[in-house]
Amino acid sequence: MKKLLTFIMLTSTLIVCANNKNPLLDNLKTPYGIPPFNQIKTMHYLPAFKEGMRIHAEEINAIANNPASPTFANTIEALDHSGLLLRQVNSIFFSLTENETNDELNKIAEEISPVLAEHTDNIYLNAKLFQRVKMLYNQRTSLNLSGEQKRLLEENYRDFIRSGASLNAADQEKLRALNKELSVLTLKFGDNVLNETNDYKLVIDRKEDLAGLPEVVIEAAAQTAKENNLEGKWVFTLQKPSLIPFLQFSERRDLREKLFKAYINRGDNDNANDNKAIINKLVNDRLQHANLLGYPTHAAYVLDDNMAKTPETVMTFLDGIWGKGLSKAKDEAADMQQMIVAEGDTFKLQAWDWWYYAEKVRKARYNLDEAALKPYFKLENVRQGAFDVAGKLYGLKFVKLEGMPVYNPDVEVFKVLDEDSSYLGIYMTDYFPRPGKRGGAWMGNFRDQYIQAGKDVRPIIYNVGNFTKPAGDEPSLLNQDEVETLFHEFGHALHGLLSRCHYVTLSGTSVDRDFVELPSQIMENWSMHPEVLKLYARHYKTGEVIPDSLIAKIRQSDTFNQGFMTTELVAAALLDMDWHTLTKAADRDVRTFEKSNMDAIGLINEIVPRYRSTFFNHIFSGDYSSGYYAYLWAEMLDADAFDAFQQHGIFDKTTATSFRKNILERGNTEDPMVLYKQFRGAAPDPAAFIRRRGL
């Protein structure tokens, strides 16, 4: 039942319901089970949630009050099969609150989130149900279960315990109140960040203020201005495809500072969207929640259910990287300062200068700049490159489907076939920023894979990004970071699409937080590999394959700026741990707390944590609290895992088949380190990670 707490990741087949007027409650026989977005209206959600919870509650009561003795089938398996309609409604609704939200959906989310939290508590705090699960858990060695069944039973029991099933009645009531409040606070935090992102616009009305910007960036800004009824001007936003090119190329240092500060101060402007009070409440509530369950800190509670297991392990891991990354970052800052002086300026390098001078140093050192690469990275070609890699590794085929119901015209739909042409699932892509979509990139699903009554229910997976939009006659041209992000999210998609599990609560990406990034991060290794670049990197105008000289420059600059990249990421991971290893509740000054902790680790002024507290959606609105370190942990795994491919050939079928069978297909059916060792033959070697980052 691990996924029960994260309804947005749960899906099911469409359920037949008597109310044919609500498409969320009706099996409309849509193609491949894709949600009928063209028929769903805002008014349908609340009735669908209520009906889904009603049916689920009946199913739970039937399991809990079953007069027959508990068996794996009538208790554990029945729990896994329960709540299918509610999972469907959740997956659709909460995907839209992230991808295509509006004020009406936000109001529904605020209303329904505490109700869903209460519904979940009613399940985990059902004493009769817990006794049935506990009885089976105590008998687990004599039940003759398969490995996957044993894992499901153990995970169910663990989830009940971690949800307060063994607490006394008074503490359970406290837990219920906290869960309701936390569900609302996390929503509000994310809404505030989205509002701050959407509200800010840097409007430029003089052409000379565009000095240094590539023409494609200028055209995109003009298009954004037109969309905002500011035709004849240029508008830059806090969305990464607009922000980063401006910071990289604009010669107007004062405007770079203005845009950068607007970005890093989101949620920290003492206005209606301010997140500082919410952070304090979240941190204190999470601490109280952890204490009720017997843990000294929120981090201890979270990490007990991850590969790392303890905050001490995470801190040791991060400390081992921090010194190396910071030392390299200081060298990089010195190189940039030297360039500033060489150009006749006397100012000291600041955080809003980093992107600009890093680009200059890269061009001077490697004769490589972003503008030279982007023409070879047309979005559609990059995506096809990811498809081709999946084809060479696993034999997959992606077939474009037209006329499918989608929630936004930007969404494209593909049918995924296995090597033998058998059907694997549906894959959707949604790549461009818009006001109703939160920033960043992620994978989600409208249906998980599972087997029921002998039928293999195949998944419906989507990838979301916020990449550079087409502008005028120019297609969407990605930068190197966006290319790697596309491959990264595609790796998550493969994890969901290739799942071969019996139980929905164990399938696909429902694995430990610090293991889930392995399938995604390993895919990044193929994105810039010379052999792969030759497959997809073609000039969008001439069709010319990317020249060897440019590939050589990419390879030579592999470890360029890795001090900065490592330092800003580790700083954010440490900030996450700082907030969630607190042992006493207090009303803290968020700015002072953050600064004092960053000063304590020696973070240089020229670098800001990748996410400052007030817009750190991963940990205060998403599922990564005490878990942002997972990206680095998984990179340790993926660097070692990709070494296996490099040793035998990056498209070696034997290695690919082993990775698919032992990692991608297995979900959470086994301890992740056991799965990793089955693939690699040994525990991961951290040295591969250090080598890759050039540290």
* Six-digit token string for 358: 């890093």
pLDDT-based confidence at 28, cuts 50/70/90?
low
Could you tell me the pLDDT band of residue 13, with boundaries at 50, 70 and 90? very low
Q: What is the mean pLDDT of residues 569-575?
A: 98
Three-state secondary structure readout of 288-354:
HHHHHCCCCCHHHHHHCCCCCCCHHHHHHHHHHHHHHHHHHHHHHHHHHHHHHHHCCCCCCCCHHHH
Give yes or no for a contact between 640 and 685, defined as CB atoms under 8 angstroms apart: yes
What six digits make up the tokens of 62?
């039937």
Q: What is the pLDDT of residues 255-277, one digit of tens each?
A: 999 999 999 999 999 999 999 99
Question: Per-residue b/e over 250-266, b at no fewer than 16 CB within 10 Å?
Answer: bebeebbeebbebbbeb
Residue 4 has pLDDT above 70, yes or no: no
Q: Identify the residue whose tokens are 């490697």.
A: 366
Active site residue 148: no
Side chain identity at residue 123, one-letter code:
I
Per-residue pLDDT averaged across 399-424, rounded? 97
The pLDDT tens digits of the residues spanning 99-143 come to: 999 999 999 999 999 999 999 999 999 999 999 999 999 999 999
DSSP-derived secondary structure letter, 403: S
pLDDT surpassing 90 at residue 620: yes
Q: Which two tokens stand for residue 4?
A: 């029960």
pLDDT at 570 over 70: yes
Selection from 213, 198, 346 nearest residue 273 by Cα = 198
Which residues, listed in sequence order, are joined to residue 428 by a DSSP beta bridge?
413, 462
Per annotation, catalytic residue among 484, 489, 517, 635: 489
pLDDT at 480 over 60: yes
Distance between CA atoms of residues 665 and 667, nearest Å: 6
pLDDT tens string 505-525: 999 999 999 999 999 999 999
User: Could you give the CA distance from residue 530 to residue 18 in angstroms, rounded to a whole number?
Assistant: 56
In tens, the pLDDT along 146-192 reads: 999 999 999 999 999 999 999 999 999 999 999 999 999 999 999 99
Alpha carbons 226 and 470: distance in angstroms, whole number? 14
Predicted confidence band of residue 89 (pLDDT cuts 50, 70, 90): very high
pLDDT band at 382; cut points 50, 70, 90 = very high
The pLDDT assigned to 687 comes to: 85
Beta strands of 46-182 (E only): which ranges? none
Beta strand pairing call for 455-457 and 442-447: unpaired
- Residue in the structure block whose two tokens are 């980093």: 354
- What's the rounded Cα separation, in Å, for the pair 465 and 619? 19
**Binning pLDDT at 50, 70 and 90, where does residue 20 land?**
low
Determine what percent of the chain is predicted with pLDDT higher than 70.
97
The pLDDT of residue 80 is 97
Q: Is the pLDDT of residue 14 over 70?
A: no
**Mean pLDDT, to the nearest integer, of 545-557?**
95
Question: Residue range 655-661: average pLDDT?
Answer: 98
Spatial distance between the Cα atoms of 477 and 379, rounded to a whole number of angstroms: 6
| 5 pLDDT higher than 60 | no
Mean pLDDT of the chain: 94
Mean local confidence (pLDDT), 604-630: 96
Structure tokens at 551: 């590939």
Q: What is the pTM (predicted TM-score) of this model?
A: 0.93
Domains of the chain: 2-124+126-162 (1.10.1370.40), 200-264 (no CATH), 375-556+631-692 (1.10.1370.40)
The answer to whether 499 and 398 are in contact (CB under 8 A) is no
**pLDDT computed for residue 12 by the predictor:** 32
619 confidence band (pLDDT: 50, 70, 90): very high
- pLDDT for residue 17: 38
Residue 175 identity: L
Residue of 671, 288, 393, 646 whose CA lies nearest to 514? 671
pLDDT at res. 688: 86
Q: What is the pLDDT of residue 18?
A: 40
């969207």: which residue's tokens? 273
Strand 423-430 versus strand 460-464 pairing type: parallel
Give 346-360 pLDDT, tens digit per residue: 999 999 999 999 999
The mean per-residue pLDDT over the stretch 451-478 comes to 93
